[in-house]
Structure 1
């Protein structure tokens, strides 16, 4: 378990799947998440929990100060690249703007640099998710570039922004 100022992060458990499914089903969340166009059925996710969660990409539930699961955050070491991690985060829309995302990002990034000896942490975000981009910038990430027309949602392609933070930048 990782402890932040507003949240704690722990591995996703089977009991979390229904809540995570509901969050991922929110139209506001789906617009920004960059994920699949359709979610697998909840019963499938529950039945195949061990195959879907925490294998290659670690998924951590984000639990707030009231012990409510407000979202999840993921990380994965990039294959064939030593000490480079990719992260992603999803927060339920009714919990946006409360600092849970920023605290989760800071907590996970600290863990990756301090405990996992990460050299680099990177992410991609859809270019119109300005709230997330501001959050990442405030956590020390910098924009590295764009992938043009990378994300498709509701009949329209959008760019994704590539961002990262390096160990020496974090330790300053």
Structure 2
């Protein structure tokens, strides 16, 4: 699994509600969620403030917003559920969705001490199903007649990746260079050598 990506993740701000509204009012939202939404920018703000999910914007290397990812911790410690949506259909198939999910999952394992990350998708979404069948995650089951779309029911896939499975594919990220971490530890070790930490004792004893 490669470590360099053509997308980055950024916080969602009020300035982004309009473009997210446009995405939710298109087939993009249907592919991602299995429902039709048609949310105004005000509806988007209300929605984001109401739900427990955290959203991050997916941006290209020239800061163009092209989609969102979401994550939520479940009631079981160490377990997270994630989702993704690339807003512009013309950018589907370029790998941006998978890249953004890998970045998000990496953040959860590297910085949130996640143990299991869960995914789900409708069986009507070919791109998502292909990602499920790529071997990166384990398919755990099929939820029968989970989505109602275009006048009929569709199954949903549910799958996950565990911490050790993820690190078998990719090394943990190095936000702070290893050499810098080692240098900081050397400074501390030298200080303690010159200034030993002694048990505390009350004055006069």
**Paired residues, what number?**
165
Call closer, same or farther: CA 1:18–1:120 in 2, change over 3 Å: same
TM-score by length of 2: 0.73
Cα RMSD, aligned residues only: 2.0
Matches within 5 A, 1:126-137: 126-137=122-133
- Return the alpha-carbon distance in structure 1 between the equivalents of residues 135 and 73 of structure 2: 20
Q: 4+ residue runs of structure 1 moved beyond 4 angstroms? A: none
Richer in strand (by share): 1
- Return the alpha-carbon distance in structure 1 between the equivalents of residues 9 and 66 of structure 2: 11
Q: Does the alignment pair 1:107 with 2:106? A: no
- Provide structure 1 residue ranges, at least 5 long, that are not aligned to the other structure: none
Cα deviations by residue, 1:93-147 (Å, 9 ceiling, x for unpaired) = 1211112111101111111111111010001100121211222444711111011
- Provide structure 2 residue ranges, at least 5 long, that are not aligned to the other structure: 169-205
Tell which deviates more after alignment, 3-12 or 70-79. Answer: 3-12
Find the structure with the greater CA-based Rg: 2
SS state of the match for residue 62, structure 2?
A: coil
SS state of the match for residue 97, structure 1?
A: coil
Cα distance, 1:32 vs structure 2:
1.3
Alpha-carbon contact 2:25-2:39 (below 8 Å) kept: no
TM-score by length of 1: 0.86
